[in-house]
Amino acid sequence: MKRYYKLILPFFILTFANFANGQTKYFEFKTSKNNEFSFPIFNRTADTITTRNINQLLQLSELELLNGYQTSNIFEKVSINNGTIYGGKVEISFTMLSNNSKVLSMKFNESSCGATCAYWVRYYNFNSGNGDLVQLKDYFTPDGFVSFNKKVLKKRTTKFKKEIMKVNSTVREYLLDVLGCYETEGLEDYYIKDTTILIDGENCLSKNQKFFDLDMITKFNLAEFKNYLNDYGKAVFGITKGSVAKYYSNELPQLFEGSIDS
């Protein structure tokens, strides 16, 4: 009997692990690639309207071109060197961060080059129930977001001051400009992982500062913000149960569809 259990237990663990991992893939996607470019095209047979909304917003925002209207590849428009100092995009890659029935979160790493190069990250968070692009503010009550914003600024400032101790003292003073960015930015660069909010400050760094290998992610656990959430936020973070499809974003940018004249 002992030998029997030794054989079946690993099989059971692997089977359960595969099932659990499969459950997290709420949206399926294929990856369009061309040289240094990769981009997700989402699909969910049970909800084509939601995936269409997500695909259209991502493609218009990042590629300036809808899939199906390209001549050779979907990156052909944004990769054109337009003669400006930063030229056209030379790289797009993405990381899937959350993919469940509440939220779809992803990160894009991008760069463009002309006379010089620029590097940046961009985050997108979608309501999995209807495809709305969701900003951090959408999860909070008005007063709750004000309180959370203060907590965010304090925690990010404290972490960054510790983080810059990694670099040479002669360049630390030039990094303090990041704190001014923290005070004014709109917290668009965030993502959700389980019951945590993670906010990225990489875009507050200048091009050269990005090579200092600083950890610019600040993590907030549910206990730090649960009292500030509205009904939508409570549903997303598992405090209440139910679909999130009935909740819509009140923030811009957003995808709109309709007709003007004819």
pLDDT digits (tens, 9 = 90+) for 189-217: 999 999 999 999 999 999 999 999 999 99
Domain ranges of the chain: 27-134, 135-243
CATH fold for domain 27-134: Heat Shock Protein 90 (3.30.565)
DSSP symbol at 5: H
5, burial (CB in 10 Å: exposed 0-12, middle 13-18, buried 19+): exposed
Residue carrying structure tokens 């949206």: 27
- N- to C-terminal Cα separation, the chain: 76
What is the model's pLDDT at position 146? 97
H helical segments located in 68-194:
142-163, 169-175, 177-184
Q: Which tokens belong to 119?
A: 């590097």
Helix (H, G, I), strand (E, B) or coil at 120: strand
Instruction: Give yes or no for a contact between 121 and 109, defined as CB atoms under 8 angstroms apart.
Output: yes
**Alpha carbons 53 and 36: distance in angstroms, whole number:** 26
Angle between helices 177-184 and 142-163 (to 10 degrees): 170
**pLDDT, tens digit (0-9, with 9 covering 90-100), for 158-173:** 999 999 999 999 999 9
44, burial (CB in 10 Å: exposed 0-12, middle 13-18, buried 19+): middle
Q: Which residues of the chain have pLDDT under 70?
A: 1-24
Q: Please tell me the number of Cα atoms within 13 Å of 55 on its side-chain side.
A: 21
**Alpha carbons 150 and 55: distance in angstroms, whole number:** 34
**Residue 40, preceding peptide bond in cis (omega within 30° of 0):** no
Beta bridge partners of 166: none
Predicted structure pTM score = 0.88
